Structure 1
Amino acid sequence: MLPKTPKPAIWRFIKGSAKTLFVLEAVCFAASYGLYYRMNTDQDFRRYINEKYPFALEYYYKIGEIVGDSKVRDIDANYWSSATAQFQKKE
């Protein structure tokens, strides 16, 4: 019978790192999907993103144009301009 030898510590480190990387990747994927879902369903959130992080909204619009829904940018622009005009009329 062959004597059992302990595995080198590097293999334990690699396995632990791989598990950590997998969990981290799953968490990042879930967070990015949640952000995309919220941007896709909530126009007020898109406006907030436009005010704080316009580059992120631009990427969202580009992805939408590639996938095929190119009307979102126009709908948002029309809605925001009409909402601004209505707000200015009230004052």
Structure 2
Amino acid sequence: MLPKTPKPAIWRFIKGSAKTLFVLEAVCFAASYGVYYRMNTNREFRQHINENYPFLLDYYYKIGEIVGDSKARQTDANYWSALKKSD
């Protein structure tokens, strides 16, 4: 019978790091999908993002224009301007 030799520590480190990276990537994907879903369904959240992080909303609109919803930016702008006029 062949004697068992312990695996080098580097392989345990690589396996542990790969597992951690996979979990971290899954969590980041879920969080980014959650933010995208909320931006896609909630106009007030988009307005909050526009006030605090306008570059994120610009990326959201650019992705929407690539996918095919090119009227979202103008629709939101019209809605928000109407809100400001009524206040």
Q: What TM-score bracket applies, with the shorter chain setting the length?
A: over 0.9
Quote the RMSD (CA, aligned, Å): 0.4
**Which amino acid in 2 is paired with 1:25?**
E
Instruction: Give TM-score, length-normalised by structure 1.
Output: 0.95
Q: Distance in 2 between matches of 1:76 and 1:24?
A: 34
Aligned residues: 87
Equivalent residue for 1:66? 66
Q: Distance in 2 between matches of 1:52 and 1:43?
A: 14
Identity %: 79
C-alpha displacement of 1:49: 0.1
For 1:24, what is the secondary structure of its paired residue? helix
Q: Distance in 2 between matches of 1:45 and 1:32?
A: 15
Give 5+ residue unaligned stretches, structure 2: none
The one-character-per-residue Cα deviations of 1:23-75 (angstroms, maximum 9, x if unpaired) are 00000000000000000000000000000000000000000000001111011
1:84 aligns with 2:84: yes
Give 5+ residue unaligned stretches, structure 1: none
C-alpha displacement of 1:2: 1.1
C-alpha displacement of 1:83: 0.5
Aligned residue runs from structure 1 range 13-32, under 5 A: 13-32=13-32
Equivalent residue for 2:50? 50
Equivalent residue for 1:38? 38
Instruction: Give TM-score, length-normalised by structure 2.
Output: 0.99
